[in-house]
Amino acid sequence: MAEKAAEFNPEVFKKTSDEKMSARLKMWLEMCAHCGLCADTCHYYLANEQDPKMMPAYKAKKVLDAIKKKGKIDEATLNSLYETVYGECTMCRRCTMFCPFGIDVASIISMARGLCVSQGKVPENLVKVIENYFAHGNQMALTQEDWIETLKWMEEELQEELPGATIPIDKKGANLLYTVNAREPKFYPMDIAHAVRVFHIAGEDWTMSSKGWDDTNLAMFAGDLKSAAYVSQLVRDAAEELEVKRVAITE
Amino acid sequence: MNLYELLRGPLLWLSFGVFLGGMVVRLALFVATSRKKDKPIYRFWSWKWLWLSIVHWIVPVNVTAKKNPIVTIVGFLFHICLLVTPLFLLAHGVLWYESWEISWWSLSEKVADYMTLVAIGCGLFFLVRRMVAPHVRVITTAADYVLLAVTLAPFVTGYLAYHQYFDYYTVMILHMIFGELMLVVIPFTKLSHFLMFFVSRAVTGMEFGRRDAPSW
Ligand code: HEM
Ligand code: SF4
Ligand code: SF4
């Protein structure tokens, strides 16, 4: 995995882990019975010929071991932690459903991703994408013109097949605000047309927004909760400004 | 004061104190920290999901019971014997009565004897499983072995004492030491799960529940 140059800093590591250590995370890290019942519930474990190192509690233990050293870890340990938390868990929470205590390994991994961020260890593409949210309000760095143009284009295409079908933009007080993954306007605009078709035929009172329309939140994947809050707020702001009743997100 | 009296008196008080006090502190710390750092718990509080989550795991009606019936059965037998035997043992009841003049129902000596063997047997199952199953071995630390030993030791020594194998007085002293040791380590180790189980199940049950997803 490509990554930003590391800025290894034990004090920051310790400070970040103290900050991020919530009551639940602490409880989970301490209480795991090491019973192994979560092993064969993880797709990484199953897809890697039942490699014990892919079992959820092992990954959580790796995080705990790193935190216990209070930041006094070496580069190799940090690198191996980085590989585990980015490369060996999709934070799907399936293991949680099978753990007798309901230990949320995904939250532990997310926290450790945040620890890696504090050391400048983030996959390079993810850094770029997070910057895009701040600069353009969406992960693909689409400008507002591009976005509106794509919607207009889809509307025209659709009207050939379904006369009267429209894509309402910034309609106040609609029942539903439909948000999409920014990859759709960028690479698969037809996906938007499919949804419009459904809304049109169902007679839904809906709208799309000229801003705050990207419902992905890749900052969350980086355990970068401050940025993640900013990204979620974009959609929330749009919904509040348009006074819609609900927000629907793309599949 | 001889060793027996010491273990029967002040040290027993001390170990009950550490056990109860330790758990109260743990709970208090959880509440205090969570109010600041785990706000979703309170924001999405739901008695319904809290109880459903606990009930489905305190009786084995869940995905893991179906997927791993053997570990589930052994685990339940282990824990039932672990909790019921010491609380309802006639000999323990006599001690409570001597000290406080309180008494409650007790197991017949024969049943208690069998339950002790079941607890030890299930413990050995977990020991062997820990040593041979790669996915359990990989997460096993020295503490796991020590805690399993600390949990089983009161049962082994209790069994030996009841049957008067070896020197009764020595075995009984060991039994008391191990029993008190187990109480003392509970708040500071993974054995705290006897209480945190409920907390963890509750918060996870509500976290899944707020998305209408059962956590069992
Ligand atoms: C003081 C009381 C308790 C003690 C001393 C105790 C002790 C233990 C020990 C030693 C293990 C680890 C077994 C191994 O090495 O694999 C264990 C596992 C476990 N305990 Fe407890 N336990 C207690 C109470 C409870 C309670 C009240 C619950 C839940 C209602 C519980 C749920 C579990 C579960 C789910 C596991 C892991 C699953 C398994 O391996 O069966 N325990 N306990
Ligand atoms: S949350 Fe992570 S560890 Fe747990 S099952 Fe999903 S991928 Fe595996
Ligand atoms: S099932 Fe839960 S308690 Fe058991 S090893 Fe996995 S995370 Fe730990």
Express each pLDDT in A18-62 by its tens digit. 999 999 999 999 999 999 999 999 999 999 999 999 999 999 999
* Residues linked to residue A230 through DSSP beta bridges, in sequence order: none
* Domain annotation covers residue B42: yes
| Cross-chain residue pair B190–A53, CB shorter than 8 Å | no
Contacts of B136 in chain A (CB under 8 A): 34-36, 39
Question: CA–CA separation, A151 vs A161, rounded Å?
Answer: 16
Contact B7, B154 (CB under 8 A): no
Q: Which atom of ligand 1 is nearest to the CA of A100?
A: 35
Q: Are A210 and A141 in contact (CB under 8 A)?
A: no
Indicate whether A1 pLDDT > 50.
Answer: no
Domain housing B28: 3-208
- Residue A71 neighbours by CB distance under 10 Å: 21
The CATH label, of 1.10.10.60, 1.10.287.110, 1.10.1060.10, 1.20.810.10, for the domain at A10-122 is: 1.10.1060.10
Structural domain includes residue B131: yes
Q: Which residue has the higher pLDDT, B172 or A4?
A: B172
Tokens 């309180």 sit on residue:
B102
> How many C-beta atoms lie closer than 10 Å to residue B98's C-beta?
9
**Number of domains, chain B:** 1
Residue B215 resides in a domain: no
Res A5: pLDDT: 47
Q: What is the mean pLDDT of chain B?
A: 95
Which residues line ligand 3 at a C-beta cut-off of 6 Å? A 32-38, 56-57, 99, 101, 103
Find the CATH number of the domain harbouring B166.
Answer: 1.20.950
- For the cut 80, the answer to whether the pLDDT of residue A154 exceeds it is yes
Q: In B16-33, which positions are buried (b, 16+ CB within 10 angstroms) versus exposed (e)?
A: eebbeebbeebbeebeeb
What does the alpha-carbon distance between residue A73 and residue A44 come to, in Å, rounded to a whole number? 26
The answer to the question of residue B111 being in a domain is yes
C-beta of A44 in contact with ligand 2 (< 6 A): yes
Q: B48 CA to middle of ligand 3, Å?
A: 24
Outline which parts of chain A fall under CATH 1.10.1060.10.
10-122
Identify the pLDDT of residue A2. 45
Residue A10 — very low, low, confident or very high, per pLDDT cuts 50/70/90?
confident
Among protein residues, the one with the nearest Cα to ligand 2's atom 3 is A56
pTM for this one?
Answer: 0.88
- B79 lies in a domain? yes
Q: Is B213 inside a domain boundary?
A: no
Residue-wise pLDDT tens digits, B76-109:
999 999 999 999 999 999 999 999 999 999 999 9
Q: Sheet containing A206-207: which strands, arranged edge to edge?
A: A206-207, A176-179, A246-249
- Whether A135 and A205 have beta carbons less than 8 Å apart is answered as no
**Is residue A68 within 8 angstroms of chain B, CB to CB?**
no
Residue B18 within any structural domain of the chain: yes
Contacts for B135 with CB less than 8 Å, ≥ 6 apart: A36, A39, A40, A45, A50, A52, A55
The interaxial angle of helices B90-100 and B69-88, nearest 10 deg, is 40
The whole-number pLDDT of residue B136 equals 98
- Residue from A25, A99, A107 whose mutation best tests the ligand 3 pocket (most atoms within 8 A of CB): A99
Is A40's Cβ below 8 Å from some Cβ in B? yes
Task: Classify residue A10 as exposed, middle or buried by CB count within 10 Å of its CB (0-12, 13-18, 19+).
Answer: middle
